[in-house]
Amino acid sequence: MNKIIKGDQVIVIAGKDKGKQGQVVSVLGEKVVVEGVNVVKRHQKPNPMRGIEGGIIAKEKPLAISNVAIFNPETKKADRVGIKLIENEGKVKRVRFFKSNGSIIGA
């Protein structure tokens, strides 16, 4: 189970966008794409066959997963993530929790 998954609210802890917050759009192995963070301008050539317009477009580039930390809404700070096993009705389930206060993520 990954510690950061799609849909998590994260905060950037290193790099040019340090301090910015956003939601994880996708996880690509050891990199994550965060909405509104690490935005670059790209010159795009028009392609009328595909219906692509030319010009300068802004797009989000991936960040190293080590440069982001999950955002804890209770403490309003970056936090570390732990994984623990919880038994519920005879089934064992893996859940993520905040290390600072022990509350379960997404519950």
pLDDT in tens, 26-58: 999 999 999 999 999 999 999 999 999 999 999
17 within some domain: yes
What is the extent of the structural domain holding 16? Answer: 9-98
pTM attached to this predicted model: 0.82
At 99, the pLDDT band (50, 70, 90 cuts) reads very high
CA atoms of 97 and 66, how far apart (whole Å): 18
At 89, the pLDDT band (50, 70, 90 cuts) reads confident
Q: What is the pLDDT of residue 96?
A: 93
Q: Which residue, among 93, 69, 92, 73, has the nearest Cα to 81 in the 3D structure?
A: 69
22 within some domain: yes
What's the domain count of the chain? 1
84 within some domain: yes
103 within some domain: no
Residue 51: CATH number of its domain: 2.30.30.30
**Beta partners for residue 63, in sequence order:** 32
1 within some domain: no
71 within some domain: yes
CA atoms of 12 and 66, how far apart (whole Å): 9
> Is 63:13 a contact under the CB 8 Å cutoff?
no
